[in-house]
A and B are shown apart, each in its own frame.
Chain A
Amino acid sequence: MMNGLEDSSFYIFILSEVITLLTGALLTVIPSINRKGLLFGVRVPEAAQNDVSAVQMKRLYYAGMSLFTVLDLTAGAALYFAKPASALLLSLYQPTLLLAAQILFYLPLRKRTLALKAEKDWKVRYTGVSETRVSRERGRLQNLPWTWYIVSFMLCVLAVAFGLYIYPTIPDILIKHWDINMTPDAWAPKSIASVLALPLVAFGMILLMLGSNILIYFTKLQVSSENPVLSFAQHRQYRRLTGHMLGFITLLITITFLLIMPMTLNLYIPTFPQMMTAILVLTVLMIAPAILVAVKAGQGGSKLKPVLTAREMEEAKTVSGSVIPVRIDRTDDAFWKLGLFYYNKEDPSFLVEDRFGNSGGLNYARPAGIVVAALIILLTLSVYVFSTLLFAGLF
């Protein structure tokens, strides 16, 4: 038993280290994938990114975050080898520590950026931009990459059909549960529910993913005031890209659940290492596209180079030509509390684009924004409290 637990904790440990490494890498590169008009959550002119002090601050952040990631990984390894049973808790707290570290690095750097902005007198036009056709299309459901969801759904239907077809041939008493060494420890008579359970769970996941995809299509994206036409073209491409990425992950999740199905029907029982390897591979396959899109496309697609239509080229000319000279005396920095939380009573949308890749995405001046935030915090806290109590053996 002890040997088995060590085995399982080793896989959980590896999984935790891999997720920590990926999270660390993503959090470290944030300043380079952030929009050019943002420096540590402060609105700056795009040219300010190459300012000597700005470059220094970014280097400081990169160095600090990579160092902390390495420390986190090393500490995790040390703790695991001293006490293998801690693997489960490690997997919970290791990536969270990185998020905490990121905010610790970010807040002073944001303060310095604000000072730098005042000192260097960086001026940013504070504008609100809408492309009428894009605004009209935003949130239209026919633009979603439906194929991924339809294919995933068809797989569920096929799985149910397959389950019903082989139902008469499977044993009357099914293994319902395995312990951590994959030794059966609970049995139950077979029923139609044992055939339907996993496809139903998979179907639920498909709906959940579709929901998040729809939310992405409804989210208002920040437009570069220095180049709005290009910015809108980038959004178009970015939405498509993230839509397909979520679709791909949905298909992967569906396949994962359906792969467990033969196991619940006792057609095939994998060994523990096989299980963990499969989980590891699938996890990496699910996280990797998200990181790839983030690094390649940048925040809100700000690094994409979309092909402009003839009409857009024409508009790009008229827009830059018709800039009216205006007083620049306000910036929207005031709406971003700590640079992380958006609070704007005038803005009717409750979903907005995140500034530094964490804890934002909501307009906290809107009731809907507060409700969603409260739900997320409640859910996250309950996972942590429950898992920690579980680990402490209170259940």
Chain B
Amino acid sequence: MLISVDFGSETPIYMQIYEQIVMAIASGDLAPGESLPSVRRLSEDIGVNIHTVNKTYAILRDEGYLKMFLRTGAAVATKMPDKENIYPAMNDKLRQLSAQASIHGITEDEFLKMAADAYAESTKGKSGNIL
């Protein structure tokens, strides 16, 4: 997969990398078990501090998307975390989004349609468990 970091963006760099890796796992651009470059190699190629990539990898590992190995670096997990784990965080984000939607005059139907489209797009049509 291609990771592209925009140094002019408001979004922190570690977050940009995080978001792109999660998107790539969902879309299948990163296959389950596919190995990722080491922290050092990736930070060299993007041209960012080694701690930035380290932070991203640590979060991804803690959330269960990545497995870290001492010798070979990192790899996409072969078994993704259960959906129960993500419910609370997802709820928070959804409440935030629906609040913004209603402020901007987006109806519930429109909001649901947008959610369905975004879901289809990020999973490239594969619904449910990507594994």
Contacts and interface: CB of A to CB of B under 8 A. Distances in A.
Contacts of A318: 27, 29
Given A127-B7, A128-B7, A131-B1, A136 B44 contact: no
Contacts of B42: 130, 132, 135
Contacts of B45: 128-130, 134-135, 138, 220, 349
Given A135-B45, A347-B44, A347-B47, A130 B37 contact: yes
Interface in A284-337: 315, 318-319, 324, 326-330, 332
Interface of B is mostly: mixed
Given A315-B29, A326-B6, A328-B8, A128 B48 contact: yes
Contacts of B27: 318
Interface string A210-234: 0000000000100001001100100
A344 to B, nearest CB: 7
B48 A324 contact: no
Q: Say which size band chain B's interface belongs to.
A: 20 to 34
B68 interface: no
B62 interface: no
B123 interface: no
B1 A315 contact: yes
Contacts of A136: 35-38, 41, 73
A367 interface: no
Interface in B3-57: 3-10, 27, 29-30, 34-38, 40-50
B3 A130 contact: yes
Interface residues of A, number: 34
Contacts of B35: 136
A315 B124 CA distance: 13
Contacts of A131: 1-3
A31 to B, nearest CB: 24
Interface string B58-100: 0000000000000001000000000000000000000000000
A131 B30 CA distance: 11
Given A136-B37, A326-B8, A129 B3 contact: yes
Given A135-B45, A315-B29, A348-B44, A126 B37 contact: no
A319 B48 contact: no
Nearest to A124: B8
B4 A129 contact: yes
- What 6 A-B pairs come out closest when comparing CB atoms? A135-B37, A128-B46, A349-B44, A130-B45, A128-B47, A128-B5
29 contacts: A125-B6, A126-B6, A126-B8, A127-B5, A128-B46, A129-B45, A130-B37, A130-B42, A130-B46, A131-B2, A131-B3, A132-B1, A132-B36, A135-B45, A138-B37, A138-B45, A228-B2, A228-B4, A232-B2, A315-B1, A315-B29, A324-B6, A324-B9, A327-B8, A328-B8, A329-B8, A330-B8, A346-B49, A349-B44
